Structure 1
Amino acid sequence: MKIALLAALLSFAAQAASAATEFSLNAALTSDYRYRGISQTRLQPALQGGADLVHKPSGWYAGAWTSTIKWTSDAGGKGKVELDIYGGKRGELAPGIGYDAGILTYVYPSNKLGRVPGLANANTTEAYGQLSWGIALVKYSRALTNLFGYVDSKRSGYLDLAANPDLGNGLVLNLHAGRQRVAHNSAASYTDYKIGMTKDFAWASVALAAVGSTAAKAAYASPANGSFLGKRALLLTVSKTF
């Protein structure tokens, strides 16, 4: 009897834990992987995917995301993959006002940029905080390490302003403006923007966006072929969450 009761309690606890925890996978194909307005793939397509785990009652979450890239090898290092590992907590400060705070580490396996004169290791860790209300959000990320290979760039910051109004019928308008400040390197600091639309279909989500930046061509020209990585462009992305 006691064994049966214990088994029932363990079964109930497992079901409760499963109901409280949400796990999801995502995959995407994009015509150009732009991050903060700058192409990470030399204006070429990228394959991306990730996994997320959320404890719904508490709001704690963790996840990992990866993408193909070209910029570390183009800069004289190695590697063709970016791996992002993150965790944090989200919830509501008041009715209708949400928050999200956490830590994000960008890992570029075997990038070896630290061996290239004038560059630092590409691996970067940022702390971030976000407030949202309705369709709008404001987010600030602060580098706890050197930023993406820039020497002496600890405490760089990125301000992100965005709004995503739902237009109905599975259509969402995507508006974004951001400001990247690279510490001790004003020539590498810039503003970026995006105007786009996302449409949800039964089989996937399709996003079309116009992006651009005020980045200096001299600071963001590809070492591989001289292409300006912050140029205005039209991007197409197909994604699916499982």
Structure 2
Amino acid sequence: MSRIIKSMLRAGVFGVSASAGLVCAQVSDNTFSGKAALFSEYEYRGISQTSEKPAVQLNLDYAHKSGFYVGTFVSNINWLKDTANANGFTSNANIEWDIYGGFKFDVAKDVTIDIGYLHYEFPSAGAFIPKPNTDEVYVGASYGPAALKYAQSTSNTFGVENSKGSSYIEFAVNYPLPAMPKLTINALVAQQKYKNNGFLDYTVSKIGATYDLGAGLNVGAYFKNTDAKKVWYTVDGKDWSKNRLVGFVSYSF
């Protein structure tokens, strides 16, 4: 059993997932959009949230032409239930429900700044102390296919005690191939750091591809790699930080 589970760790988005940041075409003052996806596994920042099991996810977003946006994300999870079982008690906490909002604006040609807030909510997680619910503020900048993002928690981070002020930084590139514009190469490198809990820090990298099937459908896969210390991320023999191939299909509407 992982020792960090005593502190209720949850860590670990690539391409499509819970990270805030709306991507949709502005065709009017107000734009509503959504995305439904099926993943072979829900991993977040390199760490499995579903104990290597599939996940069904939904994003709903609103954006105004001023740059303001707000949205929500829902996914099934297993890490809280597995943590409870590993520690001898029962939990029905099998849902993650996030709410995010912010403001995007252009500062130069092809350069966009994104500033916002993200709240991670875990309904039915009342048995866990400290609470896994987490608040983060973030700032990002994108130029063409490249994007840099920094996030910092304003609360304890995913239940880790005394971890307010933890940080996450990532650099991602999503590059459509000129010869095959429907095929996008995705690459990411990031680092998660836990305030006052440095033994949990790790780096994650991901490389993969997404193919646009048309009519809002996309399929893709990527390989994720972390250097997280296995002893802190293993529950009942399952290493949540294990290097794995993840596949997905999504529908945007």
Fold agreement, TM-score > 0.5: yes
Deviations 1:215-235 (A, max 9, x none): 11111112xx22111111111
Structure 1's 46 and 34: CA in aligned 2 closer, same or farther, altered over 3 A?
Answer: same
2:23 corresponds to = none
CA distance in 2, matches of 1:19, 1:226: 51
Question: Deviation of residue 110 (structure 1)?
Answer: 1.7
RMSD: 1.2
Pair 1:80 & 2:90 matched? no
Question: Out of 106, 115, 131, which is 2:120 matched to?
Answer: 106
Corresponding residue for 1:24?
33
Which range moved further: 191-200 or 76-85?
76-85
3-state SS, counterpart of residue 195 of structure 2: coil
| Alpha-carbon contact 1:72-1:113 (below 8 Å) kept | no
Aligned twin of 2:46: 37
Structure with higher Rg: it is: 1
SS in 2 for 1:75: helix
User: After superposition, what is the alpha-carbon deviation per residue over 1:110-152, rounded to whole angstroms, capped at 9, x for unaligned?
Assistant: 212534xxxx100000000001111111100000000001011
- Larger proportion of helix: 1
Equivalent residues of 1:30, 1:237 under 8 A apart: yes
Same amino acid, percent of matched pairs: 37
Confirm whether residue 194 of structure 1 aligns to residue 206 of structure 2.
yes
**Aligned partner (choices 181, 203, 208) of residue 169 of structure 1:** 181
**Could you tell which deviates more after superposition, 163-172 or 44-53?**
163-172
CA distance, structure 2, for counterparts of residue 186 and residue 66 of structure 1: 29
The equivalent of 2:252 in structure 1 is 241
Q: Distance in 1 between matches of 2:205 and 2:92?
A: 29
TM-score where L is the length of structure 1: 0.87
Return the alpha-carbon distance in structure 1 between the equivalents of residues 128 and 98 of structure 2: 19
The corresponding residue for 2:104 is 90
- Which residue pairs with 2:193 in the alignment? 181
The more displaced of 18-27 and 58-67 is 18-27
Per the TM alignment, residue 161 of structure 1 is displaced from its structure 2 partner at its CA by 0.6
SS, match of residue 81 in structure 2: helix
- For 1:233 and 1:108, locate their aligned partners in 2 and report how far apart those are by CA, in whole Å: 25
- Residues 113 and 184 of structure 1: CA distance in aligned 2, closer, same or farther (over 3 Å): farther
3-state SS of 2:238 partner = coil
- Tell me if 1:128 matches 2:142: no
Runs of 5+ unmatched residues, structure 1:
1-17
Tell me the distance in 2 between the aligned counterparts of 1:229 and 1:107: 20
Q: Structure 2: how far apart are the matches of 1:160 and 1:169?
A: 25
1:111 maps to amino acid: A
Deviations, residues 34-66 of structure 1 (Å, cap 9, x unaligned)? 10000000011101001000002x010000010
Q: Is the 8 A contact 1:113 1:149 kept in 2?
A: no
Count of aligned pairs between the two proteins = 218
Residue 19 of structure 1 deviates from its aligned partner by 2.7
Measure, in 2, the Cα distance between the counterparts of 1:199 and 1:19: 27
Judging changes above 3 Å, is the alpha-carbon distance between structure 1 residues 96 and 19 closer, same or farther for their aligned structure 2 residues?
Answer: closer
- Greater than 3 Å deviation, 4+ residue runs: none
Per-residue CA shift, 1:152-175, capped at 9, x if unaligned? 100000001101111133100000
Q: Provide the C-alpha distance between the structure 1 equivalents of 2:202 and 2:126, rounded to a whole number of angstroms.
A: 26
| Aligned pair partner of 2:218 in 201, 205, 213 | 205
